[in-house]
A = this chain, B = another copy of it.
Amino acid sequence: MPSPVTLTGEAFSRAQFESLLKRRFFFTESFEIYRTAPNFKGDNRGLYDYGPPGCGLLANIVNEWRRHFVIEENMLEVDCTAITPEAVLKTSGHVDRFADWMCKDPVKGEHLRADHLVETVLETRLANSRLAVGDGKSKLDRLDVATVQRYEDILAKIDNYDGPELGKLIRELDIRNPNGNGVVEEPVAFNLMFKSTIGPSSASPVYFRPETAQGQFLNFRKLLDYCQGSMPFASACIGKSYRNEISPRSGLLRVREFLMAEIEHFVDPESNKSHERFGEVAEMELPLLDRKTQLSGKTAITPMRIGKAVETKLVDNETLGYFLARVYLFLLKIGVDAKKLRFRQHLDNEMAHYACDCWDAELLTSYGWIECVGCADRSAYDLTVHSRETGAPLTVKEARATPLEITEWTATLEKKLVGPRFKKDAKIIEQAVGQLGQDDLARLAAELAKNAVITISTDKLANGANSAELSSDICSIKQVTRVENTREYTPNVIEPSFGIGRILYSVLEHVYWCRPQDAAREVLSLPILVAPTKVLLVPLSNHAGFKPAVKSLAARLRALGIANIVDSSSVSIGKRYARNDELGTPLGITVDFDTLKDGTITLRERDSTVQVRASEDDIMDATRNLLSGMETWKQVSERLPAFTRQSVDE
């Protein structure tokens, strides 16, 4: 794992970073006062609440997602319930297969996720071995070269083992619960969905959805009607999903309740999955890590034009390629560091049960590369299984541009004669004729023409025979041509699926740095687009004369819908700026004694700490332009007079 660095290339201290997030209430463990209460029992890890700055950031990321994807592409957004009847998730495969492998330690009564157990124990052994070599500790810890190699191999493929394979590893390598060294039981599948019952009778089992996708699939027909049957189209859903993780860890990265944003793009499988707007992104270069590179044990990222990737079939089709490019643009826009972003292709055995190709957008954090957006081709899997189960036609019927002529051999029986001649056997004979294939019919047609009689195989007849003779008076076989004016097909689905919490956490790591002159002065360089608060308003001091100006500026910003915060606390103005740098507030407006004289105010930019001074109207215009992206800070700072009074910023 590469060692993490901050935005400015310094070593990244996760402890310091997490202390900032906690101190400024970006998020917190849910029910924290209960967890520390003396009588509280129970497992409530993996649940997090967002505080005001985290919540503001979250809302802004979601709004930008909606603008970038839903509005930009006229996607059909839906909002489906999290509560889902068991029957739906039985059909989708989640009841049977949405599980992790879990081992029980019968002595401690602990449940351990099997792959995490193997991972932890082998990593510890490798670390101890390295230490043993280094400082001459107990030779018992030293592993031979072959063992080291084997452990590293296992760790590289840890996501790919199933339960029995993990069980075998655990026995072979004598892997035990690190807490107490107890022998663990065989891995069993543990379903990750939260189960409950609905209604007063307890007889109706439901689950809280593990993904938002199913609601979109079930509404496919209504969505198709809504867009007047025009294919391709995409639906989208933003909402909470729930997964009862066996052992939540890594803070916001593996949690039990989380916000997802998912797109289901429905496309005709016979269209090559081409995309109308692919040309707009074809020249973009994306950081790709393909399957082949991974199988050769490497992790090198190849920058490649997405146009070329699709041409060479590395990325399967234009629609998938288009979404990879759009995801890339979205992530950069909300603050992801391009150097810490890659698209990794799934290995064959790593894909979900429904997927036929998948690329993950992964973001590099201090926890390693984290899957934040999955872009999967789910083929026709979901629509097919739900349609089969319910009888609802989740298909597209399309007028054919040129009607399709289909010429087929067709056998016709003279009904009036069949009954009298075959009596009780009539039904069996009719069935046997109905089941004849095209090849058989072609052969029998020739035979009938030649001999005026044919013999066909049947189920057992009244006389015990397994065949019957049909003469040409009772049976005719001809080629018939029919015209199909419509075509019916089940669309394929390309699904970009976003874990918003993971993206939010990764962005925070990516935009974090400390001012070189003082490591305690931390900054979150959040893009203005997603920063929770856009403008900090500060009076120079608690001089009563500043209050009216601050109040009227706050009202003016509110009227423009610009989130702002007033800090009139008694600490120095430099400290108040620093406090808001920690919250990622990009702009600061100061009211000082000159404001009272000439009505001018100053505008400060967070990253550079540079300030300009101008009239209230000019500063408001500049603020609006910076927010809408019509001007950059560089343009503003060149256009408006600089302000450099020393006393203000330190």
Question: Residues on A close to B: CB < 8 A?
Answer: 24-25, 28, 30-34, 36-45, 47-52, 54-56, 58-59, 63, 66-67, 71-72, 74, 76-88, 102, 109, 111, 190, 194-196, 198-201, 203-206, 208, 215, 218-219, 221-223, 225-226, 228, 239-240, 242, 244, 246, 256-257, 386, 389-392, 394, 558, 561, 563, 565-566, 569
In whole angstroms, how far apart are the Cα atoms of A82 and B38 in the complex? 23
In whole angstroms, how far apart are the Cα atoms of A41 and B197 in the complex? 13
User: Cβ of A55: which chain B residues have Cβ within 8 Å of it?
Assistant: 77-79
A59-B77, A563-B71 known; A196 and B194 CB under 8 Å?
yes
In whole angstroms, how far apart are the Cα atoms of A67 and B86 in the complex? 39
Shortest A532–chain B CB gap in Å is: 9
Question: CB-nearest residue of chain B relative to A188?
Answer: B200
B28 with A256: CB separation less than 8 A: no
A48-B81, A52-B77, A257-B82 known; A28 and B222 CB under 8 Å?
yes
B558 with A34: CB separation less than 8 A: no
Oligomer: number of copies: 2
User: Cβ of A51: which chain B residues have Cβ within 8 Å of it?
Assistant: 76, 78, 219, 222-223, 226
B85 with A42: CB separation less than 8 A: yes
In whole angstroms, how far apart are the Cα atoms of A58 and B66 in the complex? 13
Question: CB-nearest residue of chain B relative to A205?
Answer: B42
Of B49, B81, B391, the contact of A80 (CB 8 Å cutoff): B49
Question: CB-nearest residue of chain B relative to A561?
Answer: B67
With A30-B218, A33-B218, A52-B76 given, name 18 new contacts (CB 8 A).
Answer: A33-B390, A34-B85, A34-B390, A36-B392, A37-B87, A37-B391, A37-B392, A42-B87, A42-B198, A43-B198, A44-B85, A44-B204, A45-B199, A50-B80, A51-B219, A63-B63, A71-B558, A74-B566
User: Cβ of A72: which chain B residues have Cβ within 8 Å of it?
Assistant: 558
Question: CB-nearest residue of chain B relative to A40?
Answer: B87
Question: CB-nearest residue of chain B relative to A67?
Answer: B561
User: Cβ of A256: which chain B residues have Cβ within 8 Å of it?
Assistant: 83, 198
Cross-chain pairs A/B with CB under 8 angstroms, 21 sampled: A28-B222, A30-B218, A33-B392, A34-B87, A37-B390, A38-B391, A41-B204, A42-B205, A43-B200, A45-B199, A49-B79, A49-B81, A54-B79, A55-B79, A63-B63, A74-B565, A83-B242, A194-B198, A200-B244, A239-B240, A240-B240
A47 with B81: CB separation less than 8 A: yes
In whole angstroms, how far apart are the Cα atoms of A569 and B87 in the complex? 38
User: Cβ of A54: which chain B residues have Cβ within 8 Å of it?
Assistant: 79
B196 with A190: CB separation less than 8 A: no
A33-B218, A67-B561 known; A198 and B49 CB under 8 Å?
no
